[in-house]
């Protein structure tokens, strides 16, 4: 009898999932034409990713990957403001404070999903319209195609909350041209619109209002190959003229960025910035001085090591770092200062780069034995 009840629950769950009119669901999963479509549906929370969404998306992604009738997967957000503004940081903070398992389960689930996207055999198209930060980057950047619009706002702002640019940041950031990834990771610099494409984070750029038409055309493709999908995205991309003439916002600073951020340690980066002394450099110094010194050191090493690792190795390393941050104090203090009290003045411990010892950093990267992330 129990089996029948379980089977009923599975069927009900399935019906709930395929019923697109259920506008209250946090994530909508539906099959239309040749495509599986994932819609992040927490507009009030800027589509921030929580554990229940992860638990729904991951198995569905795997099912579509095996399904001979599904030729591509599309992921998008609702509400017009954000694709996905990040992970559900507040829930993780509350859990971490009381030693709840969520602070392990969330990162495990999220990184496994990032890996599933990165290894997905079906073409994966992320429509990154609006705010795309942290966890939202993890849901998009490891797939085959990332379509940015004039409304895309990209950032990895984790060093400001005592964390590090995770979700595979250690893999994709050091692979961007020059040292731009190191710069984005350490300063949390925001890129807008076409700059997201020029930095190498997006693969295509399309007007926001053209996305429904693009989606319709993708869904209407008949048994498309990856090349067919690329051709369609390219045709939309070529027609888009918004900001076509504008130079990449970091172009004029690239020489400085490459020189400063190629230093081997955070202390050396700061020293190079001070020696440079230009208005651009002074601005970067002000930004870096606000960040968690511990986070800065972890991030620099994460990127330097991640540059020669596979995505799987990076995610395992990042899981170790996530658990080190959960045990520390800066993450809770950063979330308090930036997201809860919003006084924007976190009290970091230690408060200077010099006080964050190499030994401490080494410990954060150490294997967790049986508790290491299994992919």
Domain limits, the chain? 25-371
pLDDT value at position 181?
98
Note the pLDDT tens digit of each residue in 144-158: 999 999 999 999 999
pLDDT value at position 17?
52
Distance CA 142, CA 172 (A): 8
For residue 305, CA distances in Å to 174, 315, 353 come to 9, 12, 20
When the pLDDT of each residue in the chain is averaged and rounded to a whole number, the result is 95
Superfamily of domain 25-371: 2-enoyl-CoA Hydratase; Chain A, domain 1 (3.90.226.10)
Q: Catalytic: which of 33, 77, 118, 135? A: 135
Catalytic status, residue 87: yes
Q: For every residue of 54-82, which 3-state class applies, written as one string?
A: HHHHHHHHHHHHHCCCCCEEEEEECCCCE
Contacting residues for 166 by C-beta, under 8 A, at least 6 apart: 107, 111, 134, 138, 158, 318, 321, 322
Catalytic status, residue 166: yes
Catalytic status, residue 118: no
Catalytic status, residue 135: yes
pLDDT value at position 24?
86
pLDDT value at position 19?
46
Q: Residue ranges of the chain with pLDDT lower than 70?
A: 1-22
Q: Catalytic: which of 88, 110, 129, 158? A: 158
Note the pLDDT tens digit of each residue in 278-308: 999 999 999 999 999 999 999 999 999 999 9
pLDDT value at position 14?
56
Phi–psi pair at 341, nearest 5 degrees: -80, -25
3-state secondary structure of 142: coil
Q: Catalytic: which of 129, 166, 195, 215? A: 166
Give the side-chain half-sphere CA count within 13 A for 288. 28
pLDDT value at position 20?
47
């Amino acid at each position: 009898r129990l089996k029948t009840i379980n089977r009923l629950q599975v069927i009900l769950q399935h019906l709930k999932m395929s019923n697109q009119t259920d506008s209250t669901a946090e994530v909508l999963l539906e099959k239309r034409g040749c495509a599986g479509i994932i819609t992040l549906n927490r507009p009030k929370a800027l589509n921030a990713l929580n554990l229940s969404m992860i638990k729904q998306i991951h198995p569905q992604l795997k099912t579509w990957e095996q399904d001979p009738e599904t030729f591509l997967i599309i992921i998008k957000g609702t509400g017009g403001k954000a694709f996905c503004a990040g992970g559900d940081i507040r829930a993780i903070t509350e859990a971490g404070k009381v030693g709840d398992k969520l602070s392990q389960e969330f990162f495990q689930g999220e990184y496994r999903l990032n890996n599933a996207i990165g290894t997905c055999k079906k073409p994966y198209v992320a429509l990154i319209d609006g705010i795309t930060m942290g966890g939202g980057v993890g849901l998009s950047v490891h797939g085959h195609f990332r379509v940015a619009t004039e409304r895309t706002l990209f950032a990895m702002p984790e060093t400001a909350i005592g964390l590090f640019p995770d979700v595979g940041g250690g893999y994709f950031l050091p692979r961007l041209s020059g040292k731009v990834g190191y710069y984005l990771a350490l300063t949390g610099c925001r890129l807008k619109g076409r700059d997201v494409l020029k930095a190498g984070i997006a693969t295509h750029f399309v007007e926001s209002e053209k996305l429904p038409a693009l989606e319709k055309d993708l869904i209407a493709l008949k048994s498309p190959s990856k090349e067919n999908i690329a051709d369609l995205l390219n045709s939309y991309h070529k027609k888009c003229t918004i900001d076509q003439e504008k130079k990449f916002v970091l172009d004029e600073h690239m020489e400085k960025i490459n020189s400063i951020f190629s230093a081997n340690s955070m202390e050396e980066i700061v020293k190079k910035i001070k020696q440079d002394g230009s208005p651009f450099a002074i601005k970067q110094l002000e930004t870096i001085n606000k960040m968690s010194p511990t986070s800065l050191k972890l991030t620099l090493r994460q990127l330097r090591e991640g540059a020669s690792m596979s995505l799987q190795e990076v995610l395992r390393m990042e899981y170790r770092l996530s658990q080190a941050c959960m045990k520390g104090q800066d993450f809770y203090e950063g979330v308090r200062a930036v997201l809860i009290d919003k006084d924007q003045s976190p009290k970091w411990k230690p408060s200077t780069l010099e006080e964050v010892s190499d030994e401490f950093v080494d410990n954060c990267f150490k294997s967790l034995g049986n508790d290491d992330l299994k992919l």
